[in-house]
Amino acid sequence: MTIRTDAIRKSGPLHWEPSERWVRGTKGGTTVVDSRRPVLVWQPDLPVPCYTFPESEVRTDLLRAARRPDTGAHCGATVFYDLDLDGAVTGNAAWTFPGEELAGHISFEWFGREVLDHWYEEDEEIFVHPRDPHARVDPLPSSRHVRVEIDGVPVAETRRPVLLFETGLPVRYYIPREDVRFDLLTPTDHRTRCPYKGIARYWSWSRGGPGLTDVAWTYPEPVVAAGAVRDLVCFYNEAVDLVVDGERLERPVTVFSAQRP
């Protein structure tokens, strides 16, 4: 099937567009997907896209008809596959979207349930979900005066932050380590992964308090596009008080607010 490359297209409740990125997915050292013609698909019940791949670029010999199909998921998909790799079976690992537009393509569970160990776009590993080409993450060096306070106590202050502008989120203020009061923070074992920035590690406010666990983070080895925030420290705007150029900012309401009383 030939897929147009000139615009986002719609198939029932789905929106999709072709990508020119080389995408690979592996499990246990076995390459399950190796695609140079992936298609990004937006489902109405998910905030992020997924990939679907031409069958010819998927190890279909590793797929079996699902023993217990997850019918009703993924916009009414009716064809589901289990992944059988060296006798280890992962149920409902893949599916095909209904309708003719994306016929001959196979998608893999990813967002919220990663059935493959590693995914790559070109030679860079990506996490959690495919990057949305219509979302931006722009880290910009700045000379703004930024002060971070918790319970009235200054925990960071700098005139050389990096401001990170990310679609759909408030500006994040990344601060050089030399300008952070680490004596007031306690490192934790918490880790999160972001497709746009990489793997983050965290600190909590040492004096405790609701919403102040894992309140600050850093990216020791960010993805290339977010390299400007390497080793800098950021605090949740939702949980701390930020004073920028003398103006105290209101705490934003975001998807993270529920975790930050």
**What is the pLDDT, as a whole number, of residue 2?**
42
Indicate if 117 and 144 belong to the same structural domain: no
Is 3 inside any structural domain?
no
**What is the pLDDT, as a whole number, of residue 8?**
56
**What is the pLDDT, as a whole number, of residue 119?**
94
CATH of the domain at 39: 2.170.150.40
Domain-terminating residue out of 126, 156, 171: 126
Indicate the pLDDT class of residue 255, thresholds 50, 70 and 90.
confident
* Cα dihedral: 126, 160, 165, 221 (round 10): 0
49's torsion region: left (phi>0), alpha (psi -120 to 50) or beta?
A: beta
Q: Is 114 exposed, middle or buried (0-12, 13-18, 19+ CB in 10 A)?
A: middle
**What is the pLDDT, as a whole number, of residue 73?**
81
Model pLDDT for residues 183-192, shown as the tens digit of each residue: 999 999 999 9
**pTM recorded for the entire structure:** 0.83
Q: Is 242 exposed, middle or buried (0-12, 13-18, 19+ CB in 10 A)?
A: buried
Indicate if 121 and 166 belong to the same structural domain: no
**What is the pLDDT, as a whole number, of residue 205?**
95
**What is the pLDDT, as a whole number, of residue 240?**
95
Model pLDDT for residues 155-182, shown as the tens digit of each residue: 999 999 999 999 989 999 999 999 999 9
How many domains in the chain? 2
> What's the domain range around 60?
9-126
Domain-terminating residue out of 126, 152, 167: 126
Indicate if 178 and 98 belong to the same structural domain: no
Indicate if 152 and 251 belong to the same structural domain: yes
Q: Supply φ then ψ for residue 146, to 5 degrees.
A: -120, 130
Model pLDDT for residues 206-250, shown as the tens digit of each residue: 987 777 999 999 999 999 999 999 999 999 999 999 999 999 999
**DSSP state, residue 219:** B
**What is the pLDDT, as a whole number, of residue 160?**
98
Q: Is 95 exposed, middle or buried (0-12, 13-18, 19+ CB in 10 A)?
A: buried
Q: What's the Cα-to-Cα distance from 236 to each of 134, 173, 233, rounded to whole Å? A: 24, 9, 10
